[in-house]
Amino acid sequence: MTQTTQPTYPKGRTALLLLDPYNDFLSEGGKLWRRVATTTAAAGLHDRLKAVADAARAAGVPVFIVPHHRFAPGDLDGWSHPSPYLQASARGLVFEKGGWGGEWHPDFVPQPGDIIVKEHWASSGFANTDLDYLLKQHNITHVILIGLVANTCVEGTGRFASELGYHVTLVTDATAAFTDEALHCAHAINGPTYAHIIASAEQLIPAIAACGQ
């Protein structure tokens, strides 16, 4: 059963995964922010993301930046069967390599001590990256996921983490999606099939702080 209150985490074995904190997702004028901004989850999103990340760093919980591939013209040339998701991202040059949209949002620039994972092509931050290796090298068993978006990269990464044996936490209001329905499905329908804890940022922050004591 998914735990929804009073989460607890082991010291030295817990990590925060911050997914895709790019301008295109989080900044006014970003190619994908315009879709997130129309949802109810967008209100206060940046403050909650920052509060969770700040709490993790203050408690000594390592922050892993899990970034999406930054697209450039011709990236999918010669590919035999890229997914529709990849095709759309490549056509739109989402998170464009060398462009403003592919830069970190100013509030979420990696800090000293943060670990930047190899870029993932599709939804999972684990597939074809070094995330699992890096987590194991840091003795991590519990992962807390925040960032964008709930029903694609957050869900894909969380589900993969569960398959690999990690304890998975989703933070309901430190993420968003392109529709309120998609966010609801990610947490209320799909999340309980793989996540061990589904909690709000308000519930989670004291648990992170306790992890550092």
How many domains does the chain divide into?
Answer: 1
Q: Which domain holds residue 123?
A: 14-69+103-211
Domain-embedded: residue 174: yes
CA nearest neighbour of 26 among 175, 202, 187: 175
How confident is the model over 8-55, as pLDDT tens digits? 999 999 999 999 999 999 999 999 999 999 999 999 999 999 999 999
Residues 6+ apart with CB under 8 A from 34: none
Q: Are 17 and 207 in contact (CB under 8 A)?
A: no
Assess if residue 82 is contained within a domain. Answer: no
Residue 1 has pLDDT above 50, yes or no: no
In a domain, 97, yes or no: no
Instruction: Read off the CATH number of the domain in which 42 is found.
Output: 3.40.50.850
For residue 168, which phi and psi values (nearest 5 degrees)? -115, 130
Q: Considering the domain boundaries, does residue 23 fall inside one? A: yes
Residue 86 lies in a domain: no
Report how far residue 206's alpha carbon sits from residue 213's, in angstroms, rounded to the nearest whole number. 11
pLDDT tens, position by position, 132-147: 999 999 999 999 999 9
pLDDT for residue 5: 52
Joined together, the tokens standing for residue 150 give 């709930």
User: Strand 197-199 and strand 142-148: pairing?
Assistant: unpaired
